[in-house]
Amino acid sequence: MPKNYHFIVSENNTHQRLDLYLSRQTDLNLSRSRIQELIKQDEVKVNRKTVKANYSVRIHDQVDLILPDPVPLTVQAEEIPLEIVFEDEHLLVLNKPPGLVVHPGAGNREHTLVNALLAHCRNLSGIGGVLRPGIVHRLDKDTSGLMIVAKNDDAHQELTRLLAARKICRQYLAIVAGNFTRSGGTIDIPIGRHVHQRQKMSTKTGHGKEAVTHYTVREQFRATSLLLVKLDTGRTHQIRVHLSHIGHPVLGDMAYGRWGKLSLYAENKTKHEIALTRQMLHAAKLDFLHPIDGRPLSFEAPLPEDMRQLLEALRIDVCKER
């Protein structure tokens, strides 16, 4: 059955956007994007009237929200191998390979992670919507590594709350262009949709959302570096956009950089070119509390073969240069 929620705006919460106000209600535990979808679907009313997401709530406003039953899935299950690193009745953690799209979309109705998950699990949380069942957070198609998937709505709501509260620690390894004079730093620059190229994100929109990225230099090579990257926020393409902004784009990222090839020295001292077919970015570590029983969980995923081989070549290249 659909769930009905009723809120009265207090004096402390006035002058907030409606979507922001609802996203902060602990009874809901819904993401802001999901709330915006519900507002567009006329499932949210203020004083019994339909309003927009940017409506500024006022004291004593009556806010009603209906959380409808999940729409029946139209996505087909597919037997696609998955590397599951943890699973119980509430969630699973998997190591996504590069090249696998997370959820169906325009031009990608098949062969996605969601198709594979539907073959692996009979039921997934419906909170993510009809095309994103169970998806708590996503990785770009060409980013590899660890992802959490919710198998029921209770787990999904709590994981969403933990993510919003910055209590899910996500660590990435990235091979980037250039060298650094410092051992690390923090990039605190808002990110929004690119003004002209709507498939891209940018730090120069003037109306972006908060985005915070921390990085530590793990290793430096002749003209490239290996970074450990931690996220406070989870904006679309955040790591790629932030590192490009400071002049160190992720290798192989042709959307935000131009490092599609590298000229390196081999063991026999001859130069050769390495073509990079995807961004060298890997979600290497996850730490969080189990959404139901609260026990600490920690997972690590080794580097995929293409990144491992590139690092070996970069280390040899440095040795030959010396």
The whole-angstrom separation of Cα 218 and Cα 45 is 51
Please count the residues of the chain: 322
**Is 140 labeled as catalytic in the residue annotation?**
yes
Phi-psi region of 188 (alpha: psi -120 to 50; beta: other; left: phi over 0): beta
Q: Where are the beta strands (DSSP E) in 10-109?
A: 44-46, 49-50, 62-67, 84-87, 91-96
Give 174's strand partners. Answer: 227, 281
Active-site position among 19, 61, 140, 153: 140
The whole-angstrom separation of Cα 289 and Cα 148 is 12
The whole-angstrom separation of Cα 59 and Cα 205 is 32
Q: Which amino acid is at 33?
A: S
Burial class (CB in 10 A: 0-12, 13-18, 19+), 17: middle
Is residue 2 within 8 Å of residue 69, measured between CB atoms?
Answer: yes
Give phi and psi for 272, each to the nearest 5: -150, 160
Task: Give Cα separations from 3 to 51, 53, 69, 287, 292 (angstroms).
Answer: 20, 20, 8, 31, 21
Residue 120 neighbours by CB distance under 10 Å: 18
Catalytic positions are: 140
